[in-house]
Amino acid sequence: MSSAFHQLMKYREDSVVGLTRKATFQFYSRKISFLFEHGHISEVVGVSDNVFGHLLTICNHGDSKCSAILRLAIFLKFCREGTSENALAKDVGLSQPTVNRIVARCIDDLVNAAPEYIRWPETKDEVRRMQNAFLNLQDPSGRSRNIPCFGLLDGKHWRCQHPPRTGSLNFNYKGFFSFNSLFVTDAEHRIIYIQMSELGVNSDAQMFRSGPLDTLLQKASELPESASSRKRHGHAFVHFGGQRLWPVKICNDAVSRKPAEINKGY
């Protein structure tokens, strides 16, 4: 009797959960469709309508249960809120495995399309345009900042769980486990270079030594710099701005930082 009663209660509970999940999914799906059709999708996904439409052309593979619009909205919600897949599944009325597939396939689509958008400058004209963009930047008063560089370089730690059987390899100076990364952007904050660390690589210097950035900078150093940059420094450097606007001087394997020199006047 007791066993039958528990089975009945479990069946009723599962039925209620299933009905609740179905209702949540229908509501969220209709909400996303309505906002997209009326040009207000940016209110819930964190990107403009134009960007959302462009991402739809990239992230177009996935579960047939959900439309491409809904899949992308769920993925952007995941990216924007930083919530867990379980919590997101409850919010949108799907199972956690379904949410996992949506996130994974959107990531695969973006990774496959990334080389088309994340591009290192390969010609003199591209470097000159990037240099001029920094030279033409203005401060809040409208004065030209004349920053002599063609990219911004900075590192970022990505918190992670302790990788198994790795000891303290990925325990960083900030007090948590992470993987490190290097990003280079242009004057409009568009990413032109990404490098993720391997296991146990935590510092920016380690990242620089273990990646292709040194080679890319060597090639860029062979291209002529803008007249403004040559006049300021007297010889051909390739400069990056950074957290302290430190320049990168090309010399074998070393990165020379001169914050006092570059910060003067900025």
Residue 90 reports pLDDT greater than 50? yes
pLDDT, one tens digit per residue, over 190-213 is 999 999 887 777 678 888 888 898
Query: What does the pLDDT read at residue 15?
Result: 60
Instruction: Name the residue among 186, 265, 188 with its Cα closest to residue 232.
Output: 265
- Measured distance CA(233)–CA(97) in Å, rounded: 56
**How far, CA to CA in Å, does 12 sit from each of 17, 87, 93, 138?**
9, 23, 18, 65
Residue 234 pLDDT grade (very low, low, confident, very high; cuts 50, 70, 90): very low
Residue 251 pLDDT grade (very low, low, confident, very high; cuts 50, 70, 90): very low
Q: What are phi and psi of 179, to 5 degrees?
A: -110, 145
Phi-psi region of 233 (alpha: psi -120 to 50; beta: other; left: phi over 0): alpha
Name which residue leads in pLDDT, 148 or 237: 148
Residue 53 reports pLDDT greater than 90? yes
Q: Which helix (H) or strand (E) holds 157?
A: strand 151-159
pLDDT, one tens digit per residue, over 98-149 is 999 999 999 999 999 999 999 998 888 888 888 889 888 888 888 887 888 8
Residue 91 pLDDT grade (very low, low, confident, very high; cuts 50, 70, 90): very high
Query: What does the pLDDT read at residue 216?
Result: 87
Residues 4-22 as b/e (b if ≥16 CB within 10 A, e otherwise) read eeeeeeeeeeeeeeeeebe
CB count, 10 Å around CB of 106? 23
Query: What does the pLDDT read at residue 223?
Result: 62
CB count, 10 Å around CB of 152? 20
C-alpha dihedral sign at 96, 98, 100, 103: negative
